[in-house]
Amino acid sequence: MLNLLKEFFEDKKILILGFGVEGQSTYNLLRRIFPDRILNIADVNESLVNNKLIENDILKINLQLGGDYLNDIDNYDLVIKSPGISLKNISGIDYSKFTSHTELFTRIFKKQIIGITGTKGKSTTSSLVHHIIKTYNNNCLLVGNIGVPPFDLIDDINKDTVIVYELSSHQLEQIRVSPHIAVLLNLYEEHLDHYKSFEKYQLAKLNIAIHQENDDYFIFNADDKRITDLVSVNELKGILHRFSLSEKIKNGCYVDNGKIIFCNQEVTTLLEKTTFSNLIGDHNLQNIMAAACASLLAGIPATHISQAVDSFQPLEHRIEFVGKYNDILYYNDSISTIPEATIAALTSLKTVDTLLLGGFDRGISYNYLMEFLSKSAVRNLIFIGDAGRRMLDIYEKENYSGKNIFFTKDFTEAVNHAKRSTQKNMICLLSPAAASYDMFRDFKERGEVYKKIVRS
């Protein structure tokens, strides 16, 4: 594999664009292939000059850092772009020169990859697929957006390794090769700060299937109209498999009489039940169907899939039960960064008395969420930060009433107010419907801080 990459890179002047997790992994790979070659790195972060990964290698590195880091990208034969770099405001770019960690890896291991994307649920579904396959066949890896750049595990891969790859829209937006088994869970309005339009975001997601071949598989949510509309107007070569909570599917998964059924010429009962205490809510039932369908197509027996779903433990920060303190039940759903995820959490938990909302404002619409909350049984709405301020403005503008309202820009104050306000034996839920970047490094840190305050 390294020889193939060396041949591909050999005569090219290469730029690593962005030096985050994937950029650093790409650097390690290139340095392994070319121990003495000058490597080029561009990033807005000027402090990278002190990065420990490259400090002993500084004489063999050309750094372009700071606000003008994008100025010279036309001077390279190949640009390996990191997912977090947005080019939406830059015109005249020759995208034929661009590739990515994701595209390079997928080109080499395409037939071994189960790729999973969606606005929400991709980490849970990817982890569930990995759990199902690994408990049947230990030769399985989980990589990608979940936190492990695939090139970091390249020495663990052989020709029989199954690679479960969680893929964000940023990782998918410019790829020209798609995984052998591709899953698209849902499409909601998100990442509008990165894309010129919501349509561009949706098309980036669809790249997971656009470049498939005739013997590949595409699994998608038939209950999501945005996805079905995209599928109807794009010529996809892969074999289509749908999953649905509302209709019987001829090629894919559906729910019938409390069971999850797979239909593909023959009808197979994948799971004898549709309720799982460790994965609650209809959104998780969709995740389970997608994971079960992908696992079956990867050759895992239905009997094992059923056992593995039962033994799966959900991930942190996803409707996570924190504990019961002073007779109040606390749940952490910090992963919720869009309204639809918050609504799914409220629908799943049902007895929420206090909801903490808000954070970093990315300009997405909150009108429907405020209307939903106005009709819900939630008594206390605690709004936080700029996104919370805009939510509250919408709530007040529409003359919604009947709730106890509290606004603050301080997260600790918000959680402590929730402690005082929530009724005994009811739920206090953090499900912000907004990103965390105004106060925290990411949603994980926000969730950890929430749990720490609750447990104190």
Question: Which domains does the chain possess?
Answer: 2-99 (3.40.50.720), 102-311 (3.40.1190.10), 320-455 (3.90.190.20)
Q: Is 215 exposed, middle or buried (0-12, 13-18, 19+ CB in 10 A)?
A: exposed
Segment 86-115 mean pLDDT: 90
pLDDT higher than 70, residue 408: yes
Predicted pLDDT at 77: 94
Predicted pLDDT at 193: 62
Segment 354-381 mean pLDDT: 96
Band the pLDDT of 91: cuts 50, 70, 90. confident
Asked whether 419 and 428 are in contact (CB, 8 A), the reply is yes
State pLDDT tens for residues 7-64. Answer: 889 989 999 999 999 999 999 999 999 999 999 999 999 988 888 888 888 889 999 9
Residue type, 381: L
Q: Which position has the token pair 């579904």?
A: 125
Sign, CA dihedral 389-391-394-395, equals: negative
Q: Which position has the token pair 């918050």?
A: 342
User: Cα angle vertex 240, ends 237, 243, to 5°?
Assistant: 155
Predicted pLDDT at 430: 98
Band the pLDDT of 401: cuts 50, 70, 90. very high
The more confidently predicted of residues 423 and 93 is: 423
State pLDDT tens for residues 255-282. Answer: 999 999 999 888 999 999 998 878 999 9
Predicted pLDDT at 1: 72
User: pLDDT exceeding 90 applies to what percent of the chain?
Assistant: 83
Cα–Cα dist 364/198, whole Å: 10
State pLDDT tens for residues 285-309. Answer: 999 999 999 999 999 999 999 999 9
Predicted pLDDT at 51: 87
As a whole number of Å, the CA-based R_g of the chain is 23
Segment 380-384 mean pLDDT: 98
Predicted pLDDT at 194: 65
Q: Is 354 exposed, middle or buried (0-12, 13-18, 19+ CB in 10 A)?
A: buried
Give the tokens for residue 243.
């999953």
Asked whether 263 and 103 are in contact (CB, 8 A), the reply is no
pLDDT higher than 90, residue 191: no
Between the ranges 4-8, 199-203, 313-317, 426-430, where is the mean pLDDT highest? 426-430
Cα–Cα dist 234/304, whole Å: 35
pLDDT higher than 70, residue 128: yes
User: pLDDT exceeding 70 applies to what percent of the chain?
Assistant: 99
Cα–Cα dist 52/49, whole Å: 9
Output the 3-class SS for the chain. CHHHHHHHHCCCCEEEECCCHHHHHHHHHHHHHCCCCCEEEEECCHHHHHCCCCHHHHHHEEEEECCCCCCCHHHCCEEEECCCCCCCCCCCCCHHHEECHHHHHHHHHHHHEEEEECCCCHHHHHHHHHHHHHCCCCCEEEEECCCECHHHHHHHCCCCCEEEEECCHHHHCCCCCCCCEEEECCCCCCCCCCCCCHHHHHHHHHHHHHCCCCCCEEEEECCCHHHHHHHHHCCCCCEEEEEECCCCCCEEEEEECCEEEEEECEEEEEECCCCECCECCHHHHHHHHHHHHHHHHCCCCHHHHHHHHHHCCCCCCCCEEEEEECCEEEEECCCCCCHHHHHHHHHHHCCEEEEEEECECCCCCCHHHHHHHHHCCCCEEEEEHHHHHHHHHHHHHCCCCCCEEEEECCHHHHHHHHHHHCCCCCEEEECCCCECCCCCCCHHHHHHHHHHHHHC
pLDDT higher than 70, residue 452: yes
Predicted pLDDT at 221: 98
Residue type, 375: K
pLDDT higher than 70, residue 195: no
Residue type, 17: L
Asked whether 174 and 83 are in contact (CB, 8 A), the reply is no
Segment 233-251 mean pLDDT: 96
Q: Which position has the token pair 């759990």?
A: 131
Count of Cβ atoms closer than 10 Å to residue 253 Cβ = 29
Per the DSSP assignment, residues forming a β-bridge with 17 are 42, 81
The pTM for the full model equals 0.88
| Mean pLDDT over each residue of the chain, to the nearest integer | 94
Band the pLDDT of 364: cuts 50, 70, 90. very high
The residues near 368 (Cβ < 8 Å, ≥ 6 apart) are 339
Q: Is 415 exposed, middle or buried (0-12, 13-18, 19+ CB in 10 A)?
A: buried
Predicted pLDDT at 58: 86
Give the tokens for residue 323.
């504990």
pLDDT higher than 90, residue 149: yes
